[in-house]
Amino acid sequence: MSGRVKGAKPNIAIKTTDLKYEDYRGKDGRKKKKVKKSSDVDVTAQKGAFGVKVGIRVERGQEVELSLYRGSNGKVIPIDDEEPDDNGVMQIAREMAKAFGGEERDWRGFNVTYLEEYGSQFSTKFQLQPIDSIPTNGFQILPVIVARVETDLAKGHYFVGTSIVPGATSKGRSIRLGGKKAGKK
């Protein structure tokens, strides 16, 4: 976002390509559900190489694993889960919570080094668990924030997108209102 331009701009388009629901055993030994979601992502192109912070807001108690891929050969783009600093603080999660609400424990942070060769189109795979709180015919919205590492999110420019995780039997369909038109495949 820019200080002079009001409102979010469609700088990220996220389109689900695959969705799988699986059972797993939680730390407490109880049977729970998780979802594995693959998406194609189109981001407004950037120039040069720079550090990127990614924040995903989840429900309390949920964990997310994220992987990025580019090109038809699926070459992996290195991404690291946020690690606590020397004081045990998750800085990306803290900054996301301060700028966009919630508490640090509501946000999962990731670090990426963007290289211009990655281009603006890539694929993501993520696993979210547990998803037992998502109504089977409902959905969960995951806000996704992407910004350069040095950006102060309270004052600077960032990209915002949403990833929708449907319930296991959801019949809902997404529609895009304005912004970039999806490319034909």
pLDDT digits (tens, 9 = 90+) for 146-159: 999 999 998 888 88
CA atoms within a 13 Å half-sphere pointing along the CA-CB vector of 34: 16
Amino acid at 133: S
Give every residue of the chain whose pLDDT is below 50, as ranges: 1-3, 183-185
pLDDT value, residue 3: 45
Domain boundaries of the chain, sorted by first residue: 12-166
C-beta pairs of 21-24 under 8 Å, 24+ apart in sequence: 21/131, 21/168, 24/129
pLDDT digits (tens, 9 = 90+) for 34-66: 999 999 888 876 788 899 999 999 998 899 999
- The 10 Å CB-count burial string (b at 16+, else e) for 108-131 is bbbbbebeeebeeebbbbbbbbbb
CATH code that applies to domain 12-166: 2.60.40
